Amino acid sequence: MSRNPHKAALEYMNGCKARAEEQELSVRGLARKFKCSRRAVYQALDGRQPQSLSEEDALLIRKCDAYRQTLVADSPYRSKEQVARIHGVGVKALDIQLQAMGWTNPLTSRKEVAA
């Protein structure tokens, strides 16, 4: 245990950023980015050529999905409570450190903008 709220905050921030990026590269996120249906994204991921996408776009979708899978593998989901426990700090201390660093959670800030 490090008992270092700064290290805990950095780990939590990096995890949240990776999860936000992972969500942007989900099937729904890719469909939004490429302005096509989720069905077309699934077809591209299956190696088929959707009529609504160019070959370059279908290839890019496959590359985005491969990158998303590496994000999932490299960044296991850890809640704020888990990160605090791993680093031996309280959740309140972690919250104070995050606030002092001026951090905004990209996962919740997008939800507030969409509402």
Outline where 75-114 has alpha helix (H).
80-87, 91-100, 106-114
pLDDT, tens digit, 9 for 90 and up, residues 13-70:
998 888 899 999 999 999 999 999 999 999 999 999 999 999 999 999 999 999 999 9
Q: Which residues of 30-41 are buried (b: 16+ CB within 10 A; e: fewer)?
A: bbeebebeeebb
| pLDDT value at residue 100 | 95
pLDDT over threshold 80, residue 111: no
Q: How many residues does the chain have?
A: 115
| pLDDT value at residue 115 | 44
Outline where 46-88 has alpha helix (H).
55-74, 80-87
The residues, any chain, with a CB within 8 Å of residue 94's CB and separated by 6 or more, are: 5, 8, 9, 12, 80, 83, 84, 87
Domain definitions of the chain by residue range: 5-114
